[in-house]
């Protein structure tokens, strides 16, 4: 029996990093497929504008959730922001990179990048996997990078964070596969 995209992953999807770039494009694609969206990023104004645009264009519900997923307490705020919505698809897309010699990078910026690019996807999966397992269907999308397949000079820490995401995704695919 074939299951439609909305049946498999709906009725709600979460997209982090949704205010621009890849996250914004993913949100538009999901809205076009009929999923209601929780749009998460730091830029509240951009999220509000995008949510309104998606509501009008696709007749879905789109809720902005302005949140810094680099903050140590982001998971609690994210879970609270989702509430009791039937979340079926989680897109962990937020991220950023630092370029240049590793020894020249600001230690605080390195910590922030590690938090957003690696810790956040790990904690997001941990927070929402039980709900998806209980549903018996759903999915996670983790945004990676070609730089996650090998170390790149002048991008050492970014490559490392994306390598972490790559291997996290592979392992979780195996762990969650029995739960559909």
From CA 144, how far away is CA 9, in angstroms rounded? 21
The two tokens of residue 65 are: 């959730």
> Is 106 buried (19+), middle (13-18) or exposed (0-12) by CB count in 10 A?
exposed
CA–CA distance, 6 with 3 (Å, rounded to integer) = 8
Active site residue 158: yes
Nearest CA-CA partner of 45 in 64, 28, 71: 64
First to last CA, the chain: 14
Catalytically annotated residue among 158, 161, 163, 164:
158
CA proximity to 14, closest of 123, 95, 116, 91? 91
Active-site amino acid positions: 158
């Amino acid at each position: 029996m074939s299951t439609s995209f909305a049946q498999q992953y709906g009725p709600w999807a979460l997209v982090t990093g949704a205010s621009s770039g890849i996250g914004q494009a993913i949100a538009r694609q999901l809205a076009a497929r009929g999923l209601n969206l929780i749009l998460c990023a730091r830029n509240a104004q951009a999220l509000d504008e995008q949510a309104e645009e998606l509501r009008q264009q696709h007749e879905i519900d789109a809720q902005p959730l302005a949140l810094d997923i680099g903050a140590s307490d982001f998971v609690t705020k994210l879970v609270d922001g989702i509430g009791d919505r039937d979340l079926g698809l989680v897109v962990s897309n937020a991220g950023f990179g630092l370029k240049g010699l590793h020894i020249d990078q600001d230690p605080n910026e390195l910590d922030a990048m590690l938090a957003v690019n690696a810790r956040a996807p790990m904690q997001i999966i941990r927070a929402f996997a039980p709900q998806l397992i209980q549903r018996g269907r759903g999915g996670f999308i983790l945004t990676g990078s070609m730089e996650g397949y090998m170390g790149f000079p002048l991008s050492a820490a970014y490559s490392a964070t994306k390598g972490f995401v790559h291997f996290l995704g592979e392992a979780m695919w195996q762990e969650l596969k029995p739960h559909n």
